[in-house]
Amino acid sequence: MSGKLRETAYAKVNLALHVRSRRDDGYHRLETLFAFAREGDTIEAEDAPDISLAITGPNAGALCNDRGNLVIRAALALQAATGTGRGARLSLHKRLPVAAGLGGGSADAAATLRLLARLWGIDAADQCIAAIAATLGADVPACVLSETCTGGERGDIIMPFADPGIAGKPTLIANPGVALSTPQVFAGWDGKDGGALDPRGWRNARNDLTASAIRLVPSIASLLELLKEQPGAEVVRMSGSGASCFALFGSIEARDAAARRVPFWHMATSLR
């Protein structure tokens, strides 16, 4: 029997997120630029007759290990799609805050798909995973890739995007400690189309969910101000539907100095 396999569920940041319109299916049409931190949650798996999940880590308390958990849903979906008779004993180390705009649940689901494709030795794993990913959540396809990419429509139509200013960029991600419901934040969008996203101009782009998120969690505004005040902060923005915000820095020293001044949950990292 092989031993444990491990994957990182890389934290997702939306470097830009333009909301263009409401769709008839309750979703919104987006133009977004996804990037990924080098760190995140970790998931381990080993062979077992059935699928099970244990959750540890600083944010474990916010999750249940039932069939609603995205890790279990991803595992069951892959098991059904491949017809494998195998299961897996999964363990999730939950480091990222939950409902935080960092794609934590989506990244966990995506990492589970990558991990079980390896553990179960699935043929044509990429096609199989691609067929399942978007059914688990709009940003799961981007999280499966976990490389910088643009996202269109619900965020699930992805295209790789290369920019030498992104890979390796020192990044501080911070969260004021209040969970935000993604549907509620989208529901508060003002319906005004602020225009298309040119991904090459992401530094001067927007997150169109910021105003709605701030109405629900006013401390996001002070977090953004605090990050903007930090010496060396080049781009400061909210990620996804919040409440997490990020700042990109020109140097690791500037990032780490800023991290010492942020009195909230934070992760000092770099972009992949």
Active-site positions read 12, 139
Are 92 and 115 in contact by the 8 Å Cβ rule? The answer is no
- Minimum Å gap between C-beta 138 and ligand C5P is 4
Task: Report the residue from 13, 17, 99, 138 that binds ligand C5P according to the rule CB under 6 A.
Answer: 138
Contacts of 203 (CB under 8 A, 6+ apart): 165, 234, 235
Burial category of 151 from C-beta neighbours within 10 Å (exposed 0-12, middle 13-18, buried 19 and up): buried
- Minimum Å gap between C-beta 246 and ligand C5P is 19
- Minimum Å gap between C-beta 18 and ligand C5P is 11
Instruction: Answer whether the bond into residue 243 is a cis peptide, omega within 30°.
Output: yes
Task: Report the residue from 183, 201, 231, 263 that binds ligand C5P according to the rule CB under 6 A.
Answer: 183
In the complex with ligand C5P, which residue's Cβ is closer, 26 or 160?
Answer: 26
Are 172 and 254 in contact by the 8 Å Cβ rule? The answer is no
Cα 76 to Cα 254: distance, rounded to the nearest angstrom: 44
Query: 134 — phi, psi (to 5°)?
Result: -70, -20
Contacts of 66 (CB under 8 A, 6+ apart): 72
Task: Report the residue from 97, 155, 170, 240 that binds ligand C5P according to the rule CB under 6 A.
Answer: 155
Q: Which residues in 201-229 are b (16+ Cβ under 10 Å) and which e?
A: ebeebbbbbbebbbebbeebbebbebbee
Q: What is the CA radius of gyration of the chain?
A: 18
Query: Among the candidate windows 72-80, 125-133, 181-189, 264-272, which touches ligand C5P by CB under 6 A?
Result: 181-189
- Minimum Å gap between C-beta 82 and ligand C5P is 23
For position 154 contacting ligand C5P by CB under 6 A, the verdict is: yes
For position 186 contacting ligand C5P by CB under 6 A, the verdict is: yes
Q: Across the beta sheet with 170-175, what order do the strands follow?
A: 233-238, 245-249, 170-175, 265-270
Query: Among the candidate windows 66-74, 83-91, 158-166, 178-186, which touches ligand C5P by CB under 6 A?
Result: 178-186
Task: Report the residue from 8, 42, 112, 182 that binds ligand C5P according to the rule CB under 6 A.
Answer: 182
For position 30 contacting ligand C5P by CB under 6 A, the verdict is: yes
Task: Report the residue from 27, 147, 178, 216 that binds ligand C5P according to the rule CB under 6 A.
Answer: 27
Cα 232 to Cα 91: distance, rounded to the nearest angstrom: 38
Query: Among the candidate windows 109-117, 164-172, 179-187, 242-250, which touches ligand C5P by CB under 6 A?
Result: 179-187
- Minimum Å gap between C-beta 12 and ligand C5P is 11
Q: Which residues bind ligand C5P (CB under 6 A)?
A: 26-28, 30, 137-138, 154-155, 182-183, 186
